[in-house]
Amino acid sequence: MDPEEKLELIKNNLVEIITEEELKEKVESGQKLKGYLGFEPSGLAHIGMLIWMYKVKDLIDAGLDFYILEATWHAMINDKLGGNIELLRKAARLIRDIMASLGIDTGRINFIDAEKFASDKDYWALVIKVMKATTLARMKRAITIMGRSMDEIELDSSKLIYPAMQVSDILYMDLDVALGGLDQRKAHVLAREVSEKMGVKKPIALHTPILTSLLGSQRMEPKEADENAASLKMSKSKPSSAIFVSDPPDIIVNKINNAFCPLKQIEYNPILEINKYLLFPRKNFKLYIERPKKYGGDILIESYEDLERLYAEGKIHPADLKNATAKEVIKMLEPVRKLFSKSETIELVKEITRNTTR
């Protein structure tokens, strides 16, 4: 793969790169790049998480030496799954299995439990250095990366260390690239700022889109997106806001039928976003929409741009779009459903569901 092809594959399905010039320079240098993504194993996986899973596939296909940090300690600090570290580890392993069921070669990914970092005194020394390299106000502003408000640290000061840990994860691993959803922007920018002060490698940030909640969201300007991402996105703790990879077909149909999808509205339309970020990026994907003859009859849409244009013009009814989208989401998740039909997975899902909170 030549540098231009590699660069295009890395850029595929991203909403932001900080910065593209730095990325281009590194790719063209021919050096082996080291990348990472960290995730909290905080509940059942929903389809929004598939965006970063497929992005990881792009990056390993582009030749990156890639690491996934199973952020069990971070999730414990964030009160996920009751702070039960063993359950958090089980939930993390389930993510590995989901990725494998989607055809992602997990053997080419280096999975790391955050326990490995937490057991190293040098890691905690780095956390302290990171905290000394920034202000209290700056650290508090980054609290939103964990889906929390700044006020919440008044009740639990341990949450203040979370952004410092995430920045330390990146610097500790000596990364070229940090991948995450747009809601992780503040942590990545903070890592870039701190790395300059400490004279270490500055990470390039790659940000994937975040699927809007099925319940709909307020209109926001792009500059506000990272501030409000937690309220915009599908949430593990709000089942009606998200399609979980474990949802059976009838539940998927019901959730999509009840989803926010106003006629002609493009922005913050979760059904269009599912098509834009999950369905159309798949190779040779086309969306078949059945319509009454009086509205022009059935139509085969070959690109997301065509879908968006036709929808904005009112030539596709929300109900018809929902029906077509539901069929494709069910088809996409078919390999994952086999995983969730296993008795041991069923029991784990029950345990995770019982312990999932905000």
Evaluate whether residue 354 is within a structural domain: no
Evaluate whether residue 357 is within a structural domain: no
Same-domain status, 232 and 106: no
Coil, helix or strand at residue 165: helix
Same-domain status, 151 and 8: yes
Same-domain status, 170 and 21: yes
Q: How far is CA 188 from CA 122, 335, 354, in A?
A: 21, 33, 32
Evaluate whether residue 352 is within a structural domain: no
Answer yes or no: is pLDDT of 225 > 50. no
Predicted pLDDT of residue 77: 84
Evaluate whether residue 344 is within a structural domain: no
Same-domain status, 299 and 257: yes
Same-domain status, 178 and 226: no
Residue 70: band (very low, low, confident or very high) from pLDDT cuts 50, 70, 90: very high
Predicted pLDDT of residue 351: 87
Side chain identity, residue 272: L
Full residue range of the structural domain in which residue 289 is found:
222-242+248-332
* pTM for this predicted structure: 0.88
Same-domain status, 202 and 226: no
Same-domain status, 134 and 11: yes
Q: Which of 208, 233, 261 is the last residue of a domain?
A: 208
Predicted pLDDT of residue 241: 84
Evaluate whether residue 129 is within a structural domain: yes
For 127-141, write each residue's pLDDT tens digit: 999 999 988 888 777
Which two tokens mark 194? 């701190």
Which two tokens mark 173? 């691993």
Main-chain dihedrals φ then ψ at residue 261, nearest 5 degrees = -160, 70
Question: What sign does the CA torsion over 50, 52, 56, 57 have?
Answer: positive
For 84-140, write each residue's pLDDT tens digit: 889 999 999 999 999 999 999 999 999 999 989 989 999 999 999 999 998 888 877
For 244-286, write each residue's pLDDT tens digit: 999 999 999 999 999 999 999 999 999 999 999 999 999 899 9
Same-domain status, 123 and 42: yes
Domain count, the chain: 2
CATH number of the domain residue 180 falls in: 3.40.50.620
Predicted pLDDT of residue 153: 57
Predicted pLDDT of residue 149: 57
> How far is 242 from 259, CA to CA, in rounded Å?
10
Same-domain status, 179 and 279: no
Length of the chain: 358
Answer yes or no: is pLDDT of 38 > 80. yes
Main-chain dihedrals φ then ψ at residue 18, nearest 5 degrees = -120, 100
CATH number of the domain residue 269 falls in: 1.10.240.10
